[in-house]
Amino acid sequence: MPSTMLPSKMFNKILIANRGEIACRIIRTCQQLGVKTVAVCSEADRKALHTQLADEVVCLGPAEAAQSYLDMEKVLAAARQTGAQAIHPGYGFLSENATFSQRCAEEGIVFIGPKANAITAMGSKQEAKAMMEDAGVPVLPGYHGDKQDDDTLRQAAMKVGFPLMLKASAGGGGKGMRVVYDAEEIDAAIAGARREAMQAFGDDRMLVEKCLLQPRHVEIQVFCDEHGNGVYLFERDCSVQRRHQKIIEEAPAPGLSPSLRKDMGEAALKAAKAINYTGAGTVEFLLEGNEFWFMEMNTRLQVEHPVTELITGTDLVEWQLLVASGEKLPMTQQQLLPSGHAMEVRLYAESPDNGFLPATGHIDVLHEPSDLPGIRIDSGIQQGDDVSVWYDPMLSKIIAHGADRDEARERLITALENMQLGGVDTNRDYLIRVLRHKAFAEAVLTTRFVEQHGDTLGPREPELQPALAAAALFKLKQAEQAPVATDTGWRLNQQATAPVFFWQDQERLTARIVLQGEDKATLKAAEGEFSFSYKLQNDTAVIAANGKQHAFRLGCNGKTLYLTGADHQFGWSMQSPVNPGAGEDDGGLHAPMPGTIVEVLAKAGTEVTQDTPLVIMEAMKMEHTIRAPANGVVTAIHFNAGEQVEQNAVLIDFEQHEETEA
């Protein structure tokens, strides 16, 4: 919690050089501290939540981050214009940019983060590992050298052995990383990792490291001030990942002995002090058994910092402001004692049932269950927002705190079951499946968790009839077919019958509901008859049948009805589609999402075999390769590298060869 007595040196006004949930989260701490805030935004974010919470707003420029959030001179000009004494970079964007930290110092503006030399030291994984070896921090075997030609990397790979990990020296967040399992994959992996690293960081230098088979990803939160004091605020387990992006983070890490926890904490603090670090930082380790190895140091606040705050009772943003203003750390190592267990998930705009492709759209309905016990939601969205292709797809973070791990996990599941976001695909259902998984519940954690359990984490076939029953009742209620108010909820007239229609992916769902008194009804649809009892109250519906209860949260924007259940969210149009014939196969390969063409790998007239890479797209900081669906020929190409495309745009005309019998 923020301090009630603040030092006289505390800033009066800071600028937040970020957007989304982290900008909102920083603003809320500043509001409690009485510090004025300046938000910056792009033209695409003029109505975003963080601009509404801040005291002042400066628009930096176009939606493209390079012309707005990443333009350090525009950010500095905004700080000068508004009289901001300091700049908080959040995470991402300019947060680990040593040049920006230095420019702030030159302008007499405090950068709320480490000094430029510390960012530089840890910004190159190559140099960081060499420094950690010198400091006596354990480092994985591999190649971290200056020679960066493909042949050198190839030879290093053969020396390290397989499986191995290729990593962008300058990066993080899973960008520019490839796991390579045999020598045949190495050339393509180097090319792909280099290209992705150059796009993300402007630097294509690579590291080659031994890849552990069953590691855990455990990181230590460290904090240092300018007076030589430093503490570690214990560890977070971030092992459950997909494509090197964290899915679930928790603190403390399950199963660590007190001695191992102490050893890792002291090693992390040793790493920070080796570079004269100040501010908040995270030292990331790979852990296997009781051995751990330095992986990298993030010289900023981490996305998952709330779980540390919840088990330590601290506000790390407040700590950042105190340290940046020249104050000493508010607590000593002896005063820091973990309490309970915390767990966090990241709600992404993405489609898990469609290869986790980034999703865009309009947030038609939104319910965030922040009123549940032990639940904290760090959100950057509001109903009515548009989720665009321009930025990271993370929408919000849902965090639970409990007396122990089981309580935190159960609270987090309940919160997700009550989280409703209609209009944009999200990973909500997938997160619930991971949290409920037996191996996760038993804390059997490795960075291979998703790979090992992928078959059991896939989409479930939802039960349609209970959802259709709830939707039909809601639609009848909206039509005001003789409702009767009661103390327990809303009831329909007895013996009523009416047809209801919905549309899903151009297909019409037709049903007839027959009300039979005492809150009982029968649904007659293509799937057969479904008899049930029900209760409608406000925006919830409970359907009971065959000994099971199905609870749904109802949300409607006038055109689409959203029903959010414990396992699945349905979105059904209540209006007939304008273009019923759309979506028929036209023989082209379509863009699965809006984005930018990174590279075109084929030419018109090229004969290709099935799965040949044809086009590489990028959207929301992720690459997606479009491959040949069968043996055939590329007959035309409609876009060039660097061009923007809309979802479903025809990228390539493709003619499939007819199958011939052998």
Among residues 424, 353, 437, which one has the least CA distance to residue 394? Answer: 424
For the chain, how many residues are written?
Answer: 662
Query: Do residues 193 and 206 touch, judged by C-beta distance below 8 A?
Result: yes
Q: Which pair of tokens denotes residue 466?
A: 């209970």
Q: Which residues pair with 15 in a beta bridge?
A: 38, 87
Query: Do residues 314 and 252 touch, judged by C-beta distance below 8 A?
Result: no
Tokens 């898990």 map to which residue? 352
Name the region of 501 (left: φ>0; alpha: ψ -120 to 50; beta: rest): beta
Q: What is the largest CA-CA distance in the chain?
A: 85
What's the one-letter identity of residue 200?
A
Query: Do residues 502 and 574 touch, judged by C-beta distance below 8 A?
Result: yes
Query: Do residues 162 and 154 touch, judged by C-beta distance below 8 A?
Result: no
Residue 623 sits at the vertex; the CA angle it makes with 622 and 624, to the nearest 5 degrees, is 120
Among residues 404, 319, 370, which one has the least CA distance to residue 1? Answer: 319
* Cα distance between residue 570 and residue 468, in whole Å: 9
Judge whether 627 counts as a catalytic residue: no
Among residues 528, 540, 532, 302, which one has the least CA distance to residue 399? Answer: 302
* Cα distance between residue 22 and residue 620, in whole Å: 17
For CA atoms 531, 533, 535, 540, give the dihedral sign.
Answer: negative
Q: Report how far apart, in Å, the C-alpha atoms of 543 and of each of 464, 468, 472, 499, 654 are.
A: 12, 10, 12, 19, 48
Query: Do residues 592 and 354 touch, judged by C-beta distance below 8 A?
Result: yes
Q: Which pair of tokens denotes residue 376?
A: 């904290």
For the chain, how are helix, strand and coil distributed in percent, rounded to 5? 30, 35, 40
Residue 482 sits at the vertex; the CA angle it makes with 480 and 485, to the nearest 5 degrees, is 95
* Cα distance between residue 493 and residue 515, in whole Å: 7
* Cα distance between residue 6 and residue 258, in whole Å: 34
Q: Which pair of tokens denotes residue 293?
A: 């190895």
Query: Do residues 353 and 413 touch, judged by C-beta distance below 8 A?
Result: no
For CA atoms 434, 438, 439, 442, give the dihedral sign.
Answer: positive
* Cα distance between residue 7 and residue 18, in whole Å: 26
Q: Which pair of tokens denotes residue 37?
A: 């805030």
* Cα distance between residue 522 and residue 554, in whole Å: 20
Q: In what order do the strands lie in the sheet with 622-627?
A: 622-627, 613-619, 595-600, 644-645
Residue 386 sits at the vertex; the CA angle it makes with 382 and 391, to the nearest 5 degrees, is 100
Q: In what order do the strands lie in the sheet with 86-88?
A: 56-61, 36-42, 13-16, 86-88, 110-111
> Of 19, 236, 300, 428, which is the active-site residue?
300
CB count in 10 Å sphere of residue 610: 12
Instruction: List, by residue number, the catalytic residues.
Output: 300
